[in-house]
Structure 1
Amino acid sequence: MSTIETPAAGNLHRTEASYIPMHDHSSCPEKIPCRVYRHAGEASKAVAAEIAELIRERQSQGRKAILGLATGSTPVGVYNELVRLHKEEGLSFRDVVTFNLDEYFPMQPDELQSYVRFMHENLFDHVDVLEENVHIPDGTLADADVEEYCRRYEAMIVDAGGIDVQLLGIGRTGHIGFNEPGSGRDSRTRMITLDKMTRRDAASDFFAEENVPRRAITMGVGTILEAKKVILMAFGEGKSSVVAKAVEGEVSAIVAASFLQTHPNAQFVLDDAAADALTRRRSPWLVGPVNWDQATIRKAVMWLAQQVKKPILKLTEEDYNEEGLQDLLASQGRAYNINIEVFRDLQQTITGWPGGKPDHARRAGDSLRFGEGCFPKRVLIFSPHPDDDVISMGGTLIRLVDQGHEVHVAYQTSGNIAVFDDDAITFMDFISEFNRHFNIDPARTAEFERHIDEFVKHKQQGQVDSPEVQFIKGTIRRAEARAATRCCNIPETQLHFMDMPFYETGRVRKKPLSADDIRITVELLRKVKPHQVYAAGDLSDPHGTHRTCLTAILQACKQIERDGDEWYQQCQVWLYRGAWQEWEPHQIEMAVPLSPQELLRKRAAIFKHESQKDRALFPGNDPREFWQRAEQRNRTTAETYDKLGLAEYEAIEGFVRWKGDLDAVL
């Protein structure tokens, strides 16, 4: 099976890396140099190239390269590229010494969540590093031995000559390593109690928050700051807020990463999404001259309205001048004209007809941006998990069905790992009772029931489910998806369960996206020949499934476009959000308002996913239920439109149109 790179593992197109160094303008508030790349793949390859250069330089000098390494999803792309450099370009690791940042405690090295296992699976087993040169904190120690072990770990770093390059990620609490809020600048390698937020973020790896260890061994902030060079990597919208605090805020023990401001050779390596809250990205006009294109003008005016708490049409020239937008006025003219232009543009995003209007309802001057010209339409909604469709765009889905469109829903993955074991047992009880009542193969039923019961009873923490248990859990998710779409009046014949191969590992960690995944997606698109496609664009899904699923869809669309399929020329692709984040108001290109009744119908559809109700197995870093998150985001979008001076709605679902550029999305 051939493998296709996903954005987390590498760049979709090998374009030259584009990043903006810090201090392009003297007023830039960044206190740590930041390199911003379009994609995590570009950033990872750039960091790997730096590490490879160091290794080769040290080898030419007859010296060892001393690397400080991190774990988690962020550095995986770097390790993938280092493995490629070893296999394809002969980069040797025989003279490399490594020290890892941290390890959970207690933790056996062969457990699924062990950082020992992680490092071997992602790097050490694929290169020629010597085992005696690998150092990872020991999670198997007795409590009484930890303090002395930590002193020896510090001494080993010193004896090796100190760390040349230290790789870091950053947690939502601002922690580096496991240096939680309150960790001092001079802290050393030690045992630490994990913050509740950190444990919640790790819950998906441990199949529930209660399984996450409460302690860990970590290098201290002082240990990290002694490295000759520090590279902190952060990817995704979920990291943007804490990145901004660390880079632009005050140095504080509350955000341990902020101590890197005091390091003479530290840098942050970010993708576009993680850099989004930096001043130069959030409000670049406060930093220096900008190119006032339509998108930037819209963003600036909406930002101004929110800053001064006024509707767009009430903004004055004094508002522009006092809030640092003098350059916009100078280049674009009167405030009134700018306000009118942005207001009209925003007003045109609102539509109650996401599939376009039928001829009899269309009026002169109606926008064609939502696909008028063909009614009714075939609509294909891709849902990464079996509930993302109704969570993220349930109101729009219901509207499309009610307005007479032929709506298909494609569930890209089975979602089988996100079902509690108790639910599997309950479902098996139902099957057994049903089969016994109708005398359906009682011996086979009893055998199957015994397997499920015995497996779950003796299941170890983090153990991969047996194929039988995976089947039961996948069946639960399918049944819930059917129930949800039934209450939206979508026929079962228009549901498509894709079971994409990359997902079916039984583990949180998935396989790389493959040619089979793309082929399955292409075949479905060609079967339905949709006029509109909807896909999940909320890439902050902590497990990476949304990003992989979107990659498959967009690459399939590009293949169909290259092949010249005539039907695709009229196809529009819209990206939705909601499960993990929402589009910013200035990004929204189609806003579908929902009435109170439609919002209740959307909630009812979400409630059909009973295995995810009350407490999802993988809730991510937001403690609210998914229906609560989605409703609040929809209401907030509507409130924002209202405050900007537009009509007041109960809720709004927002969409952004994909214009065919893979690099602009992934």
Structure 2
Amino acid sequence: MKTVLQKKNIDIGYKPVGQFEETRFEKIHNVIFSDSNEASIKVAEEIAALIRKKQAADKQCVLGLATGSSPLRVYEELVRMHKEEGLSFSNVVTFNLDEYLPMEKENRQSYWYFMHENLFDHIDIPKENINIPDGTVEGDAVIDYCLSYEEEIKKHGGLDFQLLGIGRTGHVGFNEPGSHYNSGTRVITLDYITRVDAGPAFFGIDNVPRKAITMGIATVRNAKRIVLLAWGQNKAEIIQETIEGEISSAVPATYLQEHKNCTFVLDTGAGNLLTRNKTPWLVDESLEWTEELTGKAVVWLCTLTGKSILSLTDKDYNDNGMSGLLALQDSYDLNIKMFNKLQHTISGWPGGKPNADDTNRPERAEPTKKRVIIFSPHPDDDVISMGGTFDRLIDQGHEVHVAFQTSGNIAVSDKEALKFAEISKRIYKSTEAQEIIDYIKAKKESSYDSKQVLRLKGDIRRGESLAAVRYLGLDDANVHFLDLPFYETGRVKKDPLSEADIKIIIDIIKEIKPHQIYAAGDLADPHGTHKVCLDAIFAAIERLKSEPFMKDCWVWLYRGAWHEWDINEIEMAVPMSPGQVLRKRNAIFAHQSQKDGVMFQGDDSREFWMRAEERNKETAERYHALGLADYAAMEAFVRYKF
């Protein structure tokens, strides 16, 4: 059966990762790359090729551009091409998708500022060729302004290429749910979720404008070529709905299903809920049943049927696209094998159980006492994500070190900093305390913190971190504040990972010579710090892997507050008793600046301790539903093999 995708016959030269077969489930052409960096470079190459083609024909190249985190790496690569390969933008005319309303150009949160900072200030595009919606237009004048913006696009012959991101509401540009198929450039009221997602850049949702000017759905659809970018697991659900769902104004991006030259460019995280990735046995009955795929399928089948592993029958497998799996082994043997595999992931000894047979245990029994480094991207990720395991490692006598990779200073509110400055002034009447008080009280909404304020906010988080790990029984000498330079910008936007960052990680690993490293493997972190911190650790490990002590070092990845590993991915599950759940909660409570209205909350209104407890409880319940032991809670880990 030929699909709509095959009829479009799109060939853009992308080489997707792994198998790519268009299926009956998919209604938009898409390619999946192993990481967003590789994908962004390919998209930048396509844009550059279009610019050069237009130059050769002595024509203008009209680009529709997007803002946000998704296209950043594309813009970086275009700037590199301009500086190193002579790519000229002299024939390029650009039209940006949207802008907040009201919004001054000079405001650091404006899209005008974003585009100049990340692209326009670094290339040779004529200033008169740059078109960005004006966020200062007031009152009734905005209607005429939107019409004129639309006319300007038409005057240039329409968009040759439109670059898009996608919001979790399914918006493209700021075309929120309910946007009409034939809508043009206009003013729109922003969806609450969109404002939540923008909150970190504005230091809180209360500072995010409620309206915006946006190109319309029809304007976007009229582009000759559309490429939509999506990175990370937090985009997976809306990507699946957009590519495989029905066209609906409730998900405006689904309108792109009818565009004849549209490609979604994804990383593995964003594409992992597509049917061909989530349940490939429903797409291809002749696929190769690897051990990893088998585990994924069995867990999925249990969830679908509501049965435990040992209760699954031949009929369950056959009725749900797994007859090929039964051709390799009968259900009884398969069930026993998968049950034992999952059971062997459960261990109350995260550092290994002394004097025990470790053949079927996640960790080695020897050495009995291990040196351990727990890397924490932010100052509270250690106790939020693995507080129970942290507690267990200390209690079982291992030499545990915790390394806080960043200061976390920008996540402290001005209100909290003001409280500490005023307390400091009452204890010791210093001029610095008064200067901080005066600065915070006079601070404008879009202003950055002074160095004094940032230092105070960093000290607040240091004090909370020490209180948390002291509660668990860790000695102060084993606490390390790394303050990686990439983070210390005082802004949500951070610097790229540098050699200085990697060297700091290398130095502490060489100093401690650990048998175990725990690191945050949460790549869906909304503001990206977890990924950069993990990249620094991976880079350090790569350079150190030939060192003799690294042959005895195992690396375990935990997930942050946003997502948990899938059951079939978990290689070590550490159970917690009700008492240990309470100890973990108390350790998290030490981070008082992150309670009661945390600045970078994401779309989840629960406090971090609530998320952690409910996630750990859910993991334990999922294990129990599969027929395994019933625990109060579990923390989960995946081993990184270098």
TM-score normalized by the length of structure 1: 0.93
Find out whether 1:592 has 2:589 as its counterpart: no
Aligned residue identity for 1:448: E
Q: Which residue of 1 aligns with 2:5?
A: none
Say whether the 8 Å CA contact 1:194–1:216 is kept in structure 2: yes
Cα distance in structure 1, aligned partners of 2:158 and 2:334: 57
Aligned to 1:654, the other structure's residue is in SS state: strand
Q: Pick from 299, 302, 309 the counterpart of residue 306 of structure 2.
A: 309
Q: Which residue of 2 aligns with 1:461?
A: 445
CA offsets, 1:232-288, max 9 Å, x none? Answer: 110000000000000000100000000000111111100000001100110011111
- Give, in angstroms, the shift of residue 632 of structure 1: 1.1
Q: Which residue of 2 aligns with 1:327?
A: 324
- Give, in angstroms, the shift of residue 367 of structure 1: 2.8
CA offsets, 1:567-616, max 9 Å, x none? Answer: 11100000001311111111101001111110110000000000001211
Q: Which residue of 1 aligns with 2:255?
A: 259
Cα distance in structure 2, aligned partners of 1:319 and 1:46: 43
Aligned to 1:202, the other structure's residue is in SS state: helix
Find out whether 1:573 has 2:555 as its counterpart: yes
Q: Which residue of 2 aligns with 1:19?
A: 17
Q: Which residue of 2 aligns with 1:151?
A: 147
Aligned to 1:36, the other structure's residue is in SS state: strand
- Give, in angstroms, the shift of residue 192 of structure 1: 0.3
Cα distance in structure 1, aligned partners of 2:139 and 2:438: 34
Q: Pick from 442, 452, 472 the counterpart of residue 456 of structure 2.
A: 472
Q: Pick from 620, 642, 648 the counterpart of residue 602 of structure 2.
A: 620
Q: Pick from 487, 492, 497 the counterpart of residue 508 of structure 1.
A: 492
Q: Which residue of 1 aligns with 2:11?
A: none
Q: Which residue of 2 aligns with 1:112?
A: 108
Cα distance in structure 1, aligned partners of 2:239 and 2:417: 40
Q: Which residue of 2 aligns with 1:248?
A: 244
Say whether the 8 Å CA contact 2:64–2:96 is kept in structure 1: yes
Say whether the 8 Å CA contact 2:347–2:362 is kept in structure 1: no
Cα distance in structure 1, aligned partners of 2:134 and 2:218: 20
Aligned residue identity for 1:456: I
Aligned residue identity for 1:49: E
- Give, in angstroms, the shift of residue 617 of structure 1: 1.1
Q: Which residue of 1 aligns with 2:514?
A: 530
Cα distance in structure 1, aligned partners of 2:258 and 2:520: 40
Cα distance in structure 2, aligned partners of 1:87 and 1:131: 18
Aligned to 1:634, the other structure's residue is in SS state: helix
Q: Which residue of 1 aligns with 2:593?
A: 611
CA offsets, 1:395-441, max 9 Å, x none? Answer: 10001111111110000000000001111111112222222xxxxxx
Aligned to 1:381, the other structure's residue is in SS state: strand
- Give, in angstroms, the shift of residue 28 of structure 1: 3.5
Say whether the 8 Å CA contact 2:421–2:434 is kept in structure 1: no
- Give, in angstroms, the shift of residue 365 of structure 1: 5.9
Cα distance in structure 2, aligned partners of 1:274 and 1:587: 17
Aligned to 1:93, the other structure's residue is in SS state: coil
List alignment gaps of at least 5 residues for structure 1.
1-15, 436-441, 661-666
Say whether the 8 Å CA contact 1:536–1:576 is kept in structure 2: yes
Q: Pick from 189, 196, 202 the counterpart of residue 192 of structure 2.
A: 196
Aligned residue identity for 1:571: C
Q: Which residue of 2 aligns with 1:291?
A: 288
- Give, in angstroms, the shift of residue 392 of structure 1: 0.4
CA offsets, 1:421-463, max 9 Å, x none? Answer: 111111112222222xxxxxx4xx0x21221122111111131
Cα distance in structure 1, aligned partners of 2:263 and 2:15: 17
Say whether the 8 Å CA contact 2:344–2:361 is kept in structure 1: no
Aligned length: 628
Say whether the 8 Å CA contact 1:17–1:42 is kept in structure 2: no
How is 1:361-510 mapped onto 2 (pairs within 5 angstroms)?
Answer: 362=356, 364=357, 366-367=359-360, 369-435=362-428, 442=429, 445=430, 447-510=431-494
Q: Pick from 518, 524, 533 the counterpart of residue 502 of structure 2.
A: 518
Cα distance in structure 2, aligned partners of 1:160 and 1:59: 15
Say whether the 8 Å CA contact 1:17–1:38 is kept in structure 2: no
Q: Pick from 261, 266, 271 the counterpart of residue 267 of structure 2.
A: 271
Q: Which residue of 2 aligns with 1:632?
A: 614
How is 1:556-567 mapped onto 2 (pairs within 5 angstroms)?
Answer: 556-561=540-545, 564-567=546-549
How is 1:227-242 mapped onto 2 (pairs within 5 angstroms)?
Answer: 227-242=223-238
Aligned residue identity for 1:580: W
Q: Which has the higher contact order (CA 8 A, sep 6+)?
A: 1
Cα distance in structure 2, aligned partners of 1:95 and 1:521: 45
- Give, in angstroms, the shift of residue 102 of structure 1: 0.2
Cα distance in structure 1, aligned partners of 2:542 and 2:41: 24
Aligned to 1:232, the other structure's residue is in SS state: strand
CA offsets, 1:444-488, max 9 Å, x none? Answer: x0x212211221111111311101000110000000000000110
Q: Pick from 340, 343, 349 the counterpart of residue 347 of structure 1.
A: 343
Aligned to 1:601, the other structure's residue is in SS state: helix
Say whether the 8 Å CA contact 2:384–2:560 is kept in structure 1: yes
Aligned residue identity for 2:389: T
Say whether the 8 Å CA contact 1:20–1:35 is kept in structure 2: no
Cα distance in structure 1, aligned partners of 2:365 and 2:490: 43
Q: Which residue of 2 aligns with 1:122?
A: 118
Cα distance in structure 2, aligned partners of 1:365 and 1:486: 31
- Give, in angstroms, the shift of residue 366 of structure 1: 4.4
Cα distance in structure 1, aligned partners of 2:24 and 2:406: 44
More deviation in 209-218 or 320-329?
A: 320-329
Q: Which residue of 2 aligns with 1:178?
A: 174
Aligned residue identity for 2:245: G
Aligned residue identity for 2:441: K
Q: Which residue of 2 aligns with 1:7?
A: none
- Give, in angstroms, the shift of residue 17 of structure 1: 5.2
Say whether the 8 Å CA contact 1:578–1:629 is kept in structure 2: no
Say whether the 8 Å CA contact 1:379–1:532 is kept in structure 2: yes
Q: Which residue of 2 aligns with 1:5?
A: none
Aligned residue identity for 1:327: G
Aligned residue identity for 1:302: V
How is 1:56-135 mapped onto 2 (pairs within 5 angstroms)?
Answer: 56-135=52-131
Cα distance in structure 2, aligned partners of 1:371 and 1:152: 69
Find out whether 1:226 has 2:222 as its counterpart: yes
Q: Name the Cα RMSD after superposition.
A: 1.2
Cα distance in structure 2, aligned partners of 1:501 and 1:517: 6
List alignment gaps of at least 5 residues for structure 2.
1-13
Cα distance in structure 2, aligned partners of 1:125 and 1:74: 19
Aligned residue identity for 1:410: A
